[in-house]
Structure 1
């Protein structure tokens, strides 16, 4: 029946199945509102069925206007709460443990900016790292240098802080996962001869969706405490009984990893597939270059903060890209030998 102007819709106190069947909207989620209107004032799409509880405990269902969330959302700054001065958070930051820094930085903007200050990381270093007997000499921080301070303190904590030391020990007890390195770009490859085996290192960097080269002022760059050239980079260390030559792989993307038992079932054989460009990384595309390392004794994967990650130097920023950091190969790799003629 058409609605008559000025006529109000009376909703019975006892809610029946017929009311649900003929309701303009399905009764799925009850929403609260404060404005009660009549049928002739709003359209059907603006109605919602709301459950109300009377003083005697009985329930009543009424049609009410929907709440406009876009207009009624409270501003974050207008919400009730206490706003403390930044100096309070600064004093609290002096009692934050290294494993709670992430939670402290997520409280508000003030705590986040405190964790980006040079004084904060020098305080962490002074409380947990300075004069520690297990701190390596290369991680001892001088007084005047700020570049890369954050990453040096984090690396030092993995030598001195008990929580981080236990984390490294737990990872050492687990098997390394070289398969997680797929789709990373090879930055450099180098070798190291040990007492009983050869170690081959592959430095692989995670490819970002959008990589942009930002130019900073030199003096501004010197003050970056969050500078970390090794961020998003991992090193794959493969220990073999014999030496294996590896072709130039810089700039190529690791597309496949396979670990199988070698002949004799005493060691493993590692297959690494590489392709040019991330768009060629797929299960259906064969690798353009395959590296096979036989008689593998063990395999390790190290993050930049790991104590065994091969940090060669911690120099100040220079105008070179990371692919040129250390492209180490055999000196005579490209030389033609008489035996090959």
Structure 2
């Protein structure tokens, strides 16, 4: 008996390169019924003359070669300008009330209006009242309820957020930078130490160098400076805390730049030894600088690096701008301070 079945139709089409050599996947066997290619490869006879430009290229040997370059569509030019919607500033001001602390940077990058809003006193006071006010962890020196000073308001609120805002506070507990090698090429602002129960802590305050930090008295407008919400004297500063067992003397290093850091083990392989090299010159972009003075700290227990916004950063009240010359630029160290006395070198 003949088999029952539907009518089968076969498609006879040409076998093209897209079915073998130009196929995206290896082809082991061609099917009996092959559908025609949706985008067949055009032959040279099918190409129009207006679609391509013929260019002649001559190489160094003097041989010429013809190149066929497809013409650009004149209807779509790269100089087209698409006009967008410009919202009034009041719209961005209302949206700023719902901006979270971790999204302030993204909000300021939207346009000029949002950037200007983040420079206003009302924006940071609103951020303070929403996340910092009456919080039990907020220190007394960071409270601004009864303060009408606008100078440095932004950095005070940011410091307060790292005490009160949960996401920021947890980041300070989990991510503590311990490597001092990233502080190279920073200039020392101050050095101090404090006595703990059974050890000592030495603090090095290092500031990122800028091209020109000198301010002329004639160019300073103190009324404008007093109204700067974004003023931050500690911008670009980090503090290196070195905790050690004993302390002899801390030499003055103000004005010198950190150029080398060496961390090794002591002879007993119990504690670390830190060798800090300082130079009085400028070491921007220069590597392998020979330090003018070296400080060796033995019996080191641990090292921590704190940014200016970290709760453990030694923060003092914001000082108003001064018209005096920046003392951080020139070294105040005597040339013969590190000269060995009686054959002994300074060692901490």
Displaced runs of 4 or more, over 6 A: 47-50, 66-69
After superposition, the CA RMSD in angstroms is 3.4
Q: Give 5+ residue unaligned stretches, structure 1.
A: 1-12, 20-35, 51-62
Match of 1:193 among 182, 187, 195: 195
Conservation of the 8 A alpha-carbon contact between 1:193 and 1:199: yes
1:235 is matched with which residue: 222, 227, 239? 239
Task: Give the equivalent residue in structure 2 for 1:265.
Answer: 269
1:89 equivalenced with 2:96 (yes/no): no
The answer (yes or no) to whether the contact 2:189–2:206 under 8 Å persists in 1 is yes
Partner of residue 36, structure 2:
none
Q: Distance in 2 between matches of 1:328 and 1:296?
A: 27
Query: What is the CA distance between 1:212 and its match in structure 2?
Result: 5.1
Cα 1:321–1:239 shift into 2, 3 Å: farther
What are structure 2's unaligned runs of at least 5 residues?
A: 1-39, 57-65
Matches of residues 136-285 of structure 1 in structure 2 within 5 Å?
136-141=139-144, 142-172=146-176, 176-211=178-213, 213=215, 215-279=219-283, 282-285=286-289
Q: Retained in 1: the 8 A contact 2:257–2:283?
A: no
Q: CA deviation at 1:190?
A: 1.2
Aligned-partner Cα distance in 2 for 1:83–1:244: 65
CA deviation profile, 1:85-107 (whole Å, cap 9, x unmatched): 11111111011110111111111
**Separation in 1 of the partners of 2:50 and 2:117?**
51
- CA separation in 2, counterparts of 1:189 and 1:321? 20
Q: Quick one: structure 1 residues 301 and 68, their matched pair in 2 at CA, closer, same or farther if it must change by over 3 Å?
A: farther
What CA distance in whole angstroms lies between the structure 2 residues aligned with 1:113 and 1:280? Answer: 33
Q: Counterpart of 2:202 in 1: which secondary structure?
A: strand
Of the structure 1 ranges 244-253 and 185-194, higher mean CA displacement relative to structure 2 is found in 244-253
Q: Indicate the SS of the match to 1:278.
A: coil
Structure 2 counterpart SS, 1:258: strand
1:188, 1:323 within 8 Å by CA — same for their partners in 2?
no
1:301 and 2:305 are equivalent in the alignment: yes
- Structure 2 equivalent of residue 60 of structure 1: none
Shift of the 144–312 alpha-carbon distance from structure 1 to 2, 3 Å rule, reads closer
CA displacement, residues 47-89 of structure 1 (integer Å, 9 cap, x when unaligned): 9968xxxxxxxxxxxx4247699x74234xx42x332211111
C-alpha displacement of 1:313: 2.7
Whether the aligned pair in 2 keeps the contact of 1:48 and 1:65 (CA below 8 Å) is: no
The answer to which structure has the higher helix fraction is: 1
Q: Separation in 2 of the partners of 1:197 and 1:281?
A: 37
Residues 323 and 212 of structure 1, relative CA distance in 2, 3 Å threshold: closer
C-alpha separation in 2, matches of 1:275 and 1:187: 13
Q: In the TM superposition, what whole-angstrom CA distance separates every residue of 1:248-285 from its partner, at most 9, and x where no partner exists?
A: 21111101101111121221111000112124885543
1:12-23 to 2 correspondences below 5 Å: 15=42
Deviation of 1:37 (Å)? 5.0
Note closer, same or farther for the CA distance 1:267–1:323 as it changes in structure 2 (3 Å cut): farther
The 1:106/1:125 distance shift into structure 2, 3 A limit, reads: same
Q: Distance in 1 between matches of 2:161 and 2:332?
A: 29
CA contact (8 A) 1:150 1:225 kept: yes
Residue aligning to 1:114: 117
